[in-house]
């Protein structure tokens, strides 16, 4: 299916421990609980799911900002958690992140010039002034900003859309292969979101990039994604080509998500299972299929046996004992 | 501008009639206008969607109806409720107007529930602060209110942390209904919610509108949400209403280039998948362009747009749009697009 594997996430589990001092009880948050994913070169994989489903944790783990308790992440077949210092630095150059909030991800005391050249200085790609200026101008032009007017601006002098473009330029400054974008447009105004999404598309083609995009917005996922993976309670419940997933969902949770999309174009009413069951949390997830407490089709088996992510149709995987049929 | 007939409902059917509302904020560097000559009505039992991006004046409009603007705000115009101008109301009348006449669900209010008081009790307090009813009666009302927003009455004794985000938002909605207001203003009520929970809240609001005949002003930046919930839509840009009319017309056959661009720039989950055209530039903040405020970003711009500010005028769709193209004869391109 995929020509070249850029990233392979293998049964990754990321847990956080929380100690409640007064009671002395230890709770373990199962933020990501056994995720397996493969990203092919040139692909855009969108991770969707509700807040708390573990999508950001998974993304941060790819960036080595979290360490998994189990499983491995391979980048070009090399385990990123078994790298030496030099390999690790090289990896960090090839994988970059775009954060959600450009108001927080840029240093307010640092000019655009500094923001986009500092990574290059740290990685020894630029040393003298002219080299830096050349690189900065090129990067700004790449993201659709005019270097002659924006290069020496501070973040507060830029609009939200311009800031996010600077953040993208900084991510590109190290010529990465893989960009991880965590809700790249959700903080932006509606009228400028599309400009940033279109920019990401153009950059991907021109620079031969691979994207892992985290979004809660299925419209955004569909607009930029080649495939969509749906997360629920730290696990992937369904993964398929974008239109296949939207037109032909197999997992009942995906179906619920789709049925809740607002707007008059939505062909179906809200599916069953919308009510959240509070007796469970990431510290104590439900047994068996984690959606069984809400699922309209749940049978006995669903409460006891964890469904495996299996291929139902070509390239379409779902983790459900009783998948939807059309 | 005098209020045009088609921004208005049938006489007697209106709950609220806003005429030429202008709000400026006094700052160290002079006055900054936030809302400029805005007129619209809200009809009985309808949901009016107030759409627009950040800093376009939608929240200022909402807050000025409640007379809740910061002290440095200068408000002009009329806000008529029961033929009385809210802006001229003395404090004691205002107390009655708020909650009983019009109530507000402020932005992010689901996070302003008191964490150490039971949710039901907070609603009881709101009721008893305005009406002399017994605690027992107020509890009964509260339980009824909670069931009307699909929260089981037994949950009234829960504390806010025992509620999910969606339930908290429904609880503040119930609180806003506590004194039987005729109009509820909801400012971005679904913004922090996950999509499933958002859908549930929208269904609850629809239900309340149908069963109680309450009117809503639903403020949101999200056109899909507005498209689902509203009967009529007013689109604001840079402090002005640029288009107002029936939802299906405004969102499916927009007459103003801004509405059109906005509608076209939302990536859709259903329907055709295509490359969408983004709107150049960003919305103006503080200083608004001369002439039409959207002209620097408009692809249909011509000379007149730079010189003269367009007024709201009747478009072919029956909506009002503030665009010079509406009265121009060669406007096929925009209508057809």
B278 CB neighbours in chain A (<8 A) are 191-192, 194-195, 197-198
> Is residue A278 within 8 angstroms of chain B, CB to CB?
yes
The pLDDT, as a whole number, for residue B140 is 96
In angstroms, the CA A214 to CA A182 distance is: 5
ipTM of the complex: 0.89
Report the CATH superfamily, name and number, of domain B5-109+181-336: P-loop containing nucleotide triphosphate hydrolases (3.40.50.300)
Chain B positions touching chain A (beta carbons under 8 Å) = 53-54, 162, 164, 166, 194-200, 202-203, 221-225, 227-229, 248, 261-262, 265-271, 273, 275-280, 282-283, 285, 297
pTM score: 0.90
Structure tokens, B104: 């507000």
Q: Treating both helix axes as pointing N-terminal to C-terminal, what angle do B135-148 and B119-130 enclose, rounded to 10 degrees?
A: 120
User: What 8-state DSSP symbol labels residue A108?
Assistant: T
Alpha-carbon torsion (A92, A95, A101, A106), positive or negative? positive
In angstroms, the CA B47 to CA B209 distance is: 8
In angstroms, the CA A167 to CA A98 distance is: 7
**CB contact at 8 A, B51 and B171:** no
Overall residue count recorded for chain B in this entry: 337
Give Cα A137 distance to the centre of its chain: 28
The pLDDT, as a whole number, for residue A3 is 65
∠ CA B178-B7-B23, nearest 5°, is 70
The pLDDT, as a whole number, for residue B2 is 41
In angstroms, the CA A296 to CA B248 distance is: 33
Q: What is the pLDDT of residues A256-292, one digit of tens each?
A: 999 999 988 898 999 999 887 777 888 889 999 999 9
pLDDT in tens, chain B (337 residues): 444 444 555 556 899 999 999 999 999 988 999 999 999 999 999 999 999 998 899 999 999 999 999 999 999 999 999 889 999 999 999 999 999 999 999 988 888 899 999 999 999 999 999 999 999 999 999 999 999 998 999 999 999 998 888 899 999 999 999 999 999 999 999 988 889 999 999 999 999 999 999 999 999 999 999 999 999 999 999 999 999 999 999 999 999 999 999 999 899 999 887 888 888 888 887 789 999 999 999 999 999 999 999 999 999 999 999 999 998 755 555 544 4
**CB contact at 8 A, B280 and B297:** yes
The DSSP-derived string for B143-209 is HHHHHHTT--GGGGGS-GGGS-HHHHHHHHHHHHTTT--SEEEEESTTTTS-HHHHHHHHHHHHHHH
In angstroms, the CA B170 to CA B175 distance is: 9
Judge: B166–A257 Cβ closer than 8 Å, yes or no.
no
> Is residue A258 within 8 angstroms of chain B, CB to CB?
yes
Query: Which of B252, B220, B213, B253 minimizes the C-alpha distance to B234?
Result: B220
Q: Which residue has the tokens 């639903």?
A: B218
Closest-approach residue (CA) in chain A for B52: A190
C-alpha distance from A38 to closest chain B C-alpha (Å)? 24
User: Regarding beta strands A5-20 and A70-75, do their DSSP bridges make them parallel or antiparallel, or are they unpaired?
Assistant: antiparallel
A256 CB neighbours in chain B (<8 A) are 196
Per-residue buried b or exposed e for B294-303, using 16+ beta carbons within 10 Å of the residue's own CB: bbebbebbee
> Is residue A219 within 8 angstroms of chain B, CB to CB?
yes
Query: Which of B108, B75, B285 minimizes the C-alpha distance to B187?
Result: B108
The pLDDT, as a whole number, for residue B329 is 56
Q: What band does A222 get if pLDDT is binned at 50, 70 and 90?
A: very high
Query: Which of A226, A285, A215 minimizes the C-alpha distance to A55?
Result: A215
Other beta carbons within 10 angstroms of residue B154's beta carbon come to 10
> Is residue A277 within 8 angstroms of chain B, CB to CB?
no
Domain positions in chain B are 5-109+181-336
The DSSP-derived string for A298-312 is --HHHHHSPPP-EEE
The pLDDT, as a whole number, for residue A44 is 97
């Amino acid at each position: 299916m995929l020509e070249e594997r850029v990233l392979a996430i293998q049964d990754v589990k990321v847990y956080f421990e929380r100690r409640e001092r007064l009671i002395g009880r230890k709770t373990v948050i199962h933020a990501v609980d056994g995720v397996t994913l493969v990203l092919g070169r040139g692909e855009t994989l969108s991770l969707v799911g509700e807040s708390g489903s573990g999508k950001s944790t998974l993304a941060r783990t790819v960036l080595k900002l979290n360490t998994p308790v189990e499983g491995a992440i391979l980048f070009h077949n090399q385990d990123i958690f078994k790298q030496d210092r030099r390999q690790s630095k090289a990896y960090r150059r090839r994988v970059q992140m775009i954060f959600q909030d450009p108001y927080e991800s840029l240093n307010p005391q640092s000019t655009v010039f500094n923001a986009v050249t500092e990574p290059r200085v740290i990685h020894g790609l630029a040393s003298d002034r002219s080299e830096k200026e050349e690189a900065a101008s090129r990067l700004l032009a790449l993201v659709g900003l005019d270097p002659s007017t924006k290069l020496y601006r501070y973040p507060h002098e830029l609009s939200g859309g311009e800031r996010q473009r600077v953040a993208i330029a900084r991510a590109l400054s190290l010529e990465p292969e893989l960009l991880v974008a965590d809700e790249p447009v959700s903080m932006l105004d509606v009228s400028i979101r599309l400009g940033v999404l279109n920019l990401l598309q153009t950059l991907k083609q021109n620079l031969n990039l691979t994207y892992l995009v985290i979004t809660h917005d299925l419209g955004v996922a569909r607009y930029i994604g080649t495939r969509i993976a749906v997360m629920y309670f730290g696990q992937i419940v369904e993964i398929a080509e974008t239109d296949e997933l939207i037109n032909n969902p197999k997992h009942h949770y995906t179906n619920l998500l789709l049925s809740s999309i607002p707007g008059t174009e939505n062909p179906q009413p809200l599916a069953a299972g919308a009510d959240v069951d509070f007796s469970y949390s990431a510290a104590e997830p439900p047994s068996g299929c984690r959606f069984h407490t809400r699922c309209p089709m749940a049978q006995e088996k669903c409460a006891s046996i964890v469904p495996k992510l299996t291929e139902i149709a070509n390239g379409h995987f779902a983790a459900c004992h009783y998948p939807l049929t059309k | 501008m005098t209020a045009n007939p088609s921004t208005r409902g049938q006489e007697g059917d209106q709950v609220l009639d806003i005429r030429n509302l202008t709000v400026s904020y006094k700052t160290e560097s002079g006055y900054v206008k936030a809302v400029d000559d805005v007129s619209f009505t809200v009809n009985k039992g309808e949901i009016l969607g107030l759409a627009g991006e950040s800093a376009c004046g939608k929240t200022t409009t909402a807050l000025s109806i409640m007379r809740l603007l910061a002290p440095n705000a200068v408000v002009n115009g009329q806000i008529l409720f029961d033929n009385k101008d809210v802006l001229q109301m003395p404090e004691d009348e205002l107390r009655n107007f708020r909650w009983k006449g019009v109530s507000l669900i402020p932005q992010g209010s689901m996070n302003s529930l008191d964490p150490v008081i039971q949710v039901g009790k907070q609603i009881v307090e709101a009721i008893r602060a305005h009406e002399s009813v017994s605690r027992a009666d107020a509890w009964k009302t509260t339980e009824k209110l909670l069931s009307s927003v699909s929260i089981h009455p037994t949950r009234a004794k829960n504390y806010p942390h025992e509620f999910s985000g969606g339930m908290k938002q429904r609880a503040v909605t119930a609180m806003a209904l506590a004194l039987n207001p005729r109009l509820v203003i909801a400012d971005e009520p679904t913004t922090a919610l996950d999509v499933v929970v958002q859908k549930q809240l929208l269904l609850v609001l629809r239900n309340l509108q149908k069963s109680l005949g309450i009117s809503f002003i639903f403020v949101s930046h999200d056109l899909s949400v507005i498209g689902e919930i509203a009967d009529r839509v007013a689109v604001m840009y840079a402090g002005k209403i640029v288009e107002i009319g029936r939802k299906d017309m405004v969102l499916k056959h927009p007459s103003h280039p801004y509405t059109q661009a906005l509608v076209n720039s939302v990536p859709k989950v259903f329907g055709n998948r295509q490359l969408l055209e983004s709107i150049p530039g960003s919305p103006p903040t503080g200083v608004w362009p001369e002439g039409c405020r959207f002209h620097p970003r408009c692809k249909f711009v011509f000379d007149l747009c730079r010189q003269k500010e367009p007024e709201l005028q009747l478009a072919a769709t029956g909506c009002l749009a503030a665009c010079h193209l509406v009265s121009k004869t060669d406007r096929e391109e925009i209508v057809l697009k």
